[in-house]
Amino acid sequence: MEESTPMNAVRFGAFVFLIGVFGLGFALTVMAGDSRSASALVYPDAKRVDQVDDYHGVKVSDPYRWLEDTDSADTKAWVEAENKVTFSYLEQIPYRQAIHDRLMKLWNYERYGVPEKQGTRYFYQHNTGLQNQSVLYTVTSLADDSRLLLDPNTLSADGTVALSGLSVSHDGKFMAYSLSASGSDWQEWKVRDVETGKDTSDDLKWVKFSGASWTPDGKGFFYSRYDEPKENSLKGTNYFQKLYYHRLGTPQAEDVLVYERPDQKEWLFSGSVTDDGRYLIMLWLFLWMMTFSFAGGKFTRYFTVALPAVLITSALGVQFASNWIALKLAALLSAEWPRFYLRIALTLVVIASAFKAAVDAAPHFRLYTNALGGGVAVQLWPAIRRMGTRSW
């Protein structure tokens, strides 16, 4: 080892000093640049109003309440002024155009979606490269020329309407598809005649978080929706989703209500018809926050936990399972003991439950719950209650 000397100490001190000088100079340069940029920006004034709310005797001032009215002239003018400041700054960034050009080059390549066969037809999506949305095509034979069935890029001039859902009937004659505008979760489902390429009279509104599952005869499909909102559809909170059956050619008002839970306003429902057409598998989903404390209880992370259950309908009746085991599991996981190893053990239960659910057949179909992100699952008790048979 080299012996420490006063000269070595001086050299080390000089090195540290130079590093400090360069670091300080760099910091001052960055701060000066930020200061110049900030001083050049003039933000629009946001007016303050005399709005005070009384919450249980506590006075809470809310001077910017007027901004909650997104459609007012004042709000629109303020947003436009903010955008003017923002884009005037972004346009001055010298390498912004270079990043744009590079991304355009990387994204500009032809691509195809996975083809799907229904009846005697094939359906697939194709993008030439820079199209905002892929275009849907159909073809009767792989050797034939494809025919354009739906181009979502033409649904609106500003490109704010998106194709958000798609489901083709088993015979390939009809295609149910949903549209969403301006990034909203609301879906409007329509039906297109594949042969003619024209839409039918079917128009389903107030749909959210739902797909469409056709019956084998192609006469209709199952979907989930909410009641028509009584207030602004983009601002209100939606509760009490319901599962319906829609028959082609009939108005939405005549759709058959399949399932609802008036006692569970936050539950979501979806129905899926089995390939043989004998069963309707219904999934209901409810969410809450569960706390997992890891090693030593020093670190806590929150996971959104979803518990699905399957409802099977047939000529023999409908069976469903209780969720008591899942609730017991939630209480168990809140205890202060090593949950890390419990998660590993329960992850294995996921695999076992999946195999078990596949083996068990109706009318003793067993269900399992799945926790998103947590890898937790548990198999519920066999069905404990029967419901009446319903023919569609």
Say which range, 94-98, 206-210, 323-327, 356-360, has the weakest mean pLDDT.
Answer: 323-327
Widest distance between CA atoms in the chain: 96
Q: Using CA atoms, how far apart are residues 227 and 208, in angstroms rounded to an integer?
A: 11
CA 294 to centroid of chain Cα atoms? 28
* Percent of the chain scoring above 70 in pLDDT: 61
Q: Using CA atoms, how far apart are residues 55 and 383, in angstroms rounded to an integer?
A: 47
3 state DSSP class of 115 = coil
Q: What is the pLDDT of residue 387?
A: 27
Q: Using CA atoms, how far apart are residues 21 and 328, in angstroms rounded to an integer?
A: 62
Please say if the pLDDT value at position 390 is more than 60.
no
Number of H helices, E strands in the chain: 5, 22
Rg (CA), the chain: 30
Q: Using CA atoms, how far apart are residues 345 and 48, in angstroms rounded to an integer?
A: 56
Q: How many CB atoms lie within 10 A of CB 280?
A: 23
Q: Using CA atoms, how far apart are residues 147 and 123, in angstroms rounded to an integer?
A: 10
Q: Do 202 and 253 meet the contact criterion of CB atoms below 8 Å apart? A: no
Cβ neighbors of 50 (< 8 A, separation 6 or more) are: 63
Taking 3-state DSSP, the helix, strand and coil percentages for the chain, each rounded to the nearest 5, stand at: 30, 35, 40
Q: What is the pLDDT of residue 253?
A: 95
- In this prediction, residue 143 has a pLDDT band, given cuts at 50, 70 and 90, of confident
Q: What is the pLDDT of residue 283?
A: 85
Q: Compute the average pLDDT of residues 353-372.
A: 40
Q: Using CA atoms, how far apart are residues 294 and 338, in angstroms rounded to an integer?
A: 7
Single out the residue of 207, 146, 148 nearest to residue 175, CA to CA: 148
Please say if the pLDDT value at position 379 is more than 50.
no
Single out the residue of 170, 265, 291, 290 nearest to residue 219, CA to CA: 170
Please say if the pLDDT value at position 359 is more than 60.
no
By DSSP bridging, strand 280-293 and strand 116-118 are unpaired
Q: What is the pLDDT of residue 286?
A: 65
- In this prediction, residue 354 has a pLDDT band, given cuts at 50, 70 and 90, of low
Please say if the pLDDT value at position 129 is more than 70.
yes
Stronger pLDDT, 46 or 338, i.e. the higher one: 46
Q: What is the pLDDT of residue 183?
A: 87
Angle, alpha carbons 284-282-279 (nearest 5°): 170
Give me 22's structure tokens.
């360069």
Euclidean distance between the first and final Cα of the chain, in Å?
A: 88
Q: Using CA atoms, how far apart are residues 271 and 281, in angstroms rounded to an integer?
A: 6
Half-sphere exposure of 306 (CA within 13 A, CB side): 9
Angle, alpha carbons 173-179-184 (nearest 5°): 155
Enter the DSSP assignment of 344.
H
Q: Using CA atoms, how far apart are residues 198 and 204, in angstroms rounded to an integer?
A: 16
Single out the residue of 307, 206, 185 nearest to residue 252, CA to CA: 206
Enter the DSSP assignment of 240.
-
Q: Using CA atoms, how far apart are residues 7 and 9, in angstroms rounded to an integer?
A: 5
- In this prediction, residue 344 has a pLDDT band, given cuts at 50, 70 and 90, of low
- Tens of pLDDT along 73-89? 999 999 999 999 999 99
Stronger pLDDT, 192 or 30, i.e. the higher one: 192
- Cα 237 to Cα 160, 216, 229, 290, 387, distances in angstroms: 23, 35, 9, 23, 31
By DSSP bridging, strand 280-293 and strand 147-150 are unpaired
Q: Using CA atoms, how far apart are residues 112 and 65, in angstroms rounded to an integer?
A: 48
- In this prediction, residue 230 has a pLDDT band, given cuts at 50, 70 and 90, of confident
Stronger pLDDT, 286 or 324, i.e. the higher one: 286
Give backbone dihedrals phi and psi of 84, rounded to 5 degrees, phi first.
-65, -40
Q: Where are the domains of the chain?
A: 48-92, 290-392
Which residue has 């130079």 as its token pair?
Answer: 18
